[in-house]
Amino acid sequence: MSSTKRQQTMAKRNRERAVEEKRTLKRLKKQAAKAEKAAGGPFADEPLAGEPVAEEPSEAEPDVE
């Protein structure tokens, strides 16, 4: 076994920083969309990317029971 530690390269550090920044931006974007939907903004009736879409019966197709 080696008793010395290997120094982390700048490239690896930069890659990790870029990934973390991308995740943070994505999380902020999702939070903003969720807040906008909760506030009844212009995109309130549109589902988010991960939400299931509920199909509503149209007026042309009557609901048969």
Residues 6 or more apart whose CB falls under 8 angstroms from that of 30 comprise 48
Residues 6 or more apart whose CB falls under 8 angstroms from that of 42 comprise 36
Q: pLDDT digit string (tens) for 11-28?
A: 999 999 999 999 999 999
Task: State the chain's mean pLDDT as an integer.
Answer: 79
Is 0.75 topped by the overall pTM?
no
Whether pLDDT at 41 is above 70: no
Whether pLDDT at 8 is above 70: yes
> Which burial class, exposed, middle or buried, applies to 50 when counting CB atoms under 10 A from its CB (0-12, 13-18, 19+)?
exposed
Whether pLDDT at 47 is above 70: no
Q: Please report, rounded to a whole number, the percentage of residues in the chain having pLDDT higher than 70.
A: 57
